Chain A
Amino acid sequence: MLTRRIIPCLDVKNGRVVKGVNFMGLRDAGDPADLAEFYCREGADELVFLDITASCESRPLFYELISKIAGRIMIPFTIGGGIGDLQDIRHLLNAGADKVSLNTAALAGPELISRAAEVFGSQCVVCAIDAQRKDDGTWEVFTHGGTRPTGRDALEWARTAAKMGAGEILLTSMDADGTRKGFDIDLTRRITDAVKIPVIASGGGGRPEDFLDVFRNGRADAALAASVFHYGDIALPDLKRFLNENQIPVRMLRMPLPELKYDAAGLIPAIVQENATGEVLMMAYMNRQSLEISLKEGRTCFFSRSRRTLWRKGETSGNIQEIREIRYDCDADTLLVLVDQSGPACHTGERSCFYRSVESMGE
């Protein structure tokens, strides 16, 4: 199932992250690449960088910065701010950006969206919409960083942008932005209902409950926020755990398993021992998947080499093994699983699979 995405947004000015970002363990809190790497480790699903640099002379510097970021993180990232034409987009994508976010220039000439989609593909064209609520209950689109009203209706513009080939919409509620009182659910829901492309909701996220709300009731595909993450008010792993517990599918980080040495077929031998007596019961193979299942379910799950499938011990016989501990050896290529065995461990009905002695053979 497709997960909902959490996207931290970083404002970059003259190559530095603005706003007081301060995290433990960051070498340089103002370095966009350091911060990007940090968010990556924390479980961010994507990142957005907005270039709020005033002058265009610093643009080449910004391209360099993007190349540096692309070399450091392995999740998608979007660049926005001051993108005016196809040449700009080409530079940004070549530097390593995955997507570009178009705003003012797209409103001035919507064919920029369709041309960008034609040349580079819809997947990299994000249409950013800054919307403000009007007295009549509709929303008006603003440009130039939310300073200039356009007279255009946000719903109509979202539909147009989608039709022109935008791959996603980044929707910012100007009313909610900076309030930390929650996303504009009403606006988000109207837009998600109006278009068939993914919508990223932005503006107002202050508590984990706000994110739950915008996913559940706003039906947003992704949620973007800046300061709540930068100031450490919400930690990404906590937010994801909270959403997961509330049945919102989110990408959880990989389970931290020790660096085990699997063989060429991805398998590692597992010796199973009775926890109470130390008796060796059996030996079977696990792969990473069966090991994860074993850890999750607390009962052994192995990989059958003959049948080439996973098998949960005791699935048919009822002779399950409750896991007490899993150890790994000095060179990390063998597991020792301590269990409480129900019934016999061996399929022959013997308590242990090792019921025969080599010496007695052939007598």
Chain B
Amino acid sequence: MIAIVDYGVGNVGNVQNALERLGVECVVTSDVRLVEKADGIILPGVGAFKSGMNNLQGASLDGLIKARASTGTPLLGICLGMQLLFEKSEEGGGCDGLGLIAGEVVKFRQGPKIPHVGWNRLRSLRPSLLTSGLGEGEYFYFVHSYCCMPRDSKTILGVAEYGGEFAAAVGKFNIFGVQFHPEKSGEAGLILLRNFIDFEVNKCR
């Protein structure tokens, strides 16, 4: 069972729709007990970093997610969920994140228009179970005004170009983050979500 964490930031139903399409058993929840026993955790979300982090803390989910991710449970952060994996963000005057991946989140400065909205290509930098089976330069749907700056370049799985390249997909062991919305990215998005669901199975093979 996959827990899609509902922490009051935007519409999480579409992630559930996508997983149901894949025939994956999942639950949208903010219940620590369900997150505690989930086989995998998805942290979705659009919106502001600070309120996202506050809501996670308010529901006592921040420590739990960190603990579970640190002990090997597959975790996928989507959009704001990816940003929350980092140590801190400059959004809203600065706020600490979960600190699962080294680096910080900064306002998108390089792009011609902010927010960066639309379909952009993911250029894969290193092979990963998450992006396995995807074509070269596959298109994904992005909507964001902030972007992640990983400190360790080895955690960057893929980049997208928008007035310069930025980290669009990151990964460190069982912890993954994507700046785009796989649940809104057609077939390519489904492949990526399938890969995440299969991570537990595949890594053992």
With contacts A1-B120, A74-B18, A289-B124 known, is A93 near B11, CB below 8 A?
yes
Query: Within 8 Å CB of A196, what residues of B?
Result: 113-114
Query: Within 8 Å CB of B124, what residues of A?
Result: 289
Which one, B135, B143, B181, contacts A292 given CB within 8 A?
B135
Query: Within 8 Å CB of B143, what residues of A?
Result: 76, 123, 167
Flag if B11 contacts A2 (CB, 8 Å): no
Flag if A288 contacts B135 (CB, 8 Å): yes
Which one, A98, A120, A254, A257, contacts B138 given CB within 8 A?
A254
B129 nearest CB across to chain A (Å): 7
With contacts A5-B118, A167-B115, A287-B132 known, is A96 near B127, CB below 8 A?
no
Query: In the complex the two chains form, what is the Cα distance from A197 to B114 in whole Å?
Result: 6
B30 nearest CB across to chain A (Å): 15
Instruction: Mark interface residues in A289-330 (1 if CB within 8 Å of B CB, else 0).
Output: 100110000000001000010000000000000000000000
Identify which of residues 162-204 in chain B touch chain A, using a CB-to-CB cut-off of 8 Å: 162, 181, 183-190, 202-203
Question: Which chain B residue shows the least CB distance to A222?
Answer: B118
Identify which of residues 9-67 in chain B touch chain A, using a CB-to-CB cut-off of 8 Å: 10-11, 13-14, 17-18, 20-21, 46-48
Which one, A2, A40, A76, A263, contacts B162 given CB within 8 A?
A2
Flag if A2 contacts B46 (CB, 8 Å): no
Question: Which chain B residue shows the least CB distance to A67?
Answer: B13
Instruction: Mark interface residues in A79-98 (1 if CB within 8 Å of B CB, else 0).
Output: 00000000000000110111
Query: Within 8 Å CB of A264, what residues of B?
Result: 129, 132, 202-203, 205
Flag if A74 contacts B139 (CB, 8 Å): no
Question: Which chain A residue shows the least CB distance to B121?
Answer: A1
With contacts A251-B139, A254-B188 known, is A2 near B118, CB below 8 A?
yes
Which one, A40, A71, A198, A266, contacts B127 given CB within 8 A?
A266
Instruction: Mark interface residues in A262-290 (1 if CB within 8 Å of B CB, else 0).
Output: 11111000000000000000000001110
Query: Within 8 Å CB of B111, what residues of A?
Result: 2
Flag if A2 contacts B119 (CB, 8 Å): yes
Query: Within 8 Å CB of A74, what residues of B?
Result: 17-18, 21, 183-187, 189-190
Query: Within 8 Å CB of B129, what residues of A?
Result: 264-266
Instruction: Mark interface residues in B51-91 (1 if CB within 8 Å of A CB, else 0).
Output: 00000000000000000000000000000000000000000
Q: How many A residues have CB within 8 A of the partner chain?
A: 46
* Most chain A CB atoms below 10 A, which of B10, B21, B203: B10
Query: Within 8 Å CB of B126, what residues of A?
Result: 308
Flag if B186 contacts A40 (CB, 8 Å): yes
Instruction: Mark interface residues in A173-203 (1 if CB within 8 Å of B CB, else 0).
Output: 0000000000000000000000011100000
A13 nearest CB across to chain B (Å): 25
Query: In the complex the two chains form, what is the Cα distance from A271 to B10 in whole Å?
Result: 49
Flag if A251 contacts B119 (CB, 8 Å): yes
Query: In the complex the two chains form, what is the Cα distance from A5 to B141 in whole Å?
Result: 11
Flag if B115 contacts A122 (CB, 8 Å): yes
- Judge whether A130 is part of the interface by a CB distance below 8 angstroms: no
- Judge whether B99 is part of the interface by a CB distance below 8 angstroms: no
Which one, B47, B113, B138, contacts A121 given CB within 8 A?
B47
Seen from chain A, the residues whose Cβ lies within 8 Å of a Cβ on chain B are 1-5, 40, 45, 70-71, 74-76, 93-94, 96-98, 120-124, 167-168, 196-198, 221-222, 251-252, 254-255, 257, 262-266, 287-289, 292-293, 303, 308
Nearest 8 CB-CB pairs, A to B?
A266-B132, A289-B136, A251-B119, A264-B205, A264-B202, A123-B143, A251-B139, A3-B119
